[in-house]
Amino acid sequence: MTYAIFSTGGAQFRAEPGVTIKVPLLAAEPGSKVTFDQVLLASDGKQVHAGKPVVKGAKVTAEIVRHGKGKKIKIYRFARRTGYRRHGGHRQQFTEIKIADVKLKGD
């Protein structure tokens, strides 16, 4: 089983061919291809390649499926005995991608 751990948007994700994952918002249109070259760890099913800090020559290619917003997170600020109460919310934007291919350095 070929897989890779790659980094984008300050977070790390596990990529396998054919799997759909949500990553932080990318500046690209749905239907376009993106390539991630910050591969931290990659495996071809027999051997694991760990990067120092990245695996040289390894990359993950994916197709953008859609953009969206996640679930709402409620934010509440409170200071006791002062009558200070504030509430708000936040919905984090994401990009849903479908992993097309995981290339190792020897491919």
> What are the pLDDT digits (tens) for 17-43?
999 999 999 999 999 999 999 999 999
Q: Which pTM value belongs to this model? A: 0.85
Does the structure show a pLDDT above 80 at 106? no
- Residue 83 vs residue 45, higher pLDDT: 83
Q: What is the pLDDT of residue 97?
A: 98
Q: If you average pLDDT over residues 70-84, what whole number do you get?
A: 97
Measured between alpha carbons, how far is 34 from 72 in angstroms, rounded to an integer?
27
Look-up: residue for tokens 């760890």?
A: 41
Q: How many CB atoms lie within 10 A of CB 100?
A: 15
Look-up: residue for tokens 């910050």?
A: 38
10 Å CB burial of residue 1 (0-12, 13-18, 19+) is: exposed
Does the structure show a pLDDT above 90 at 1? no
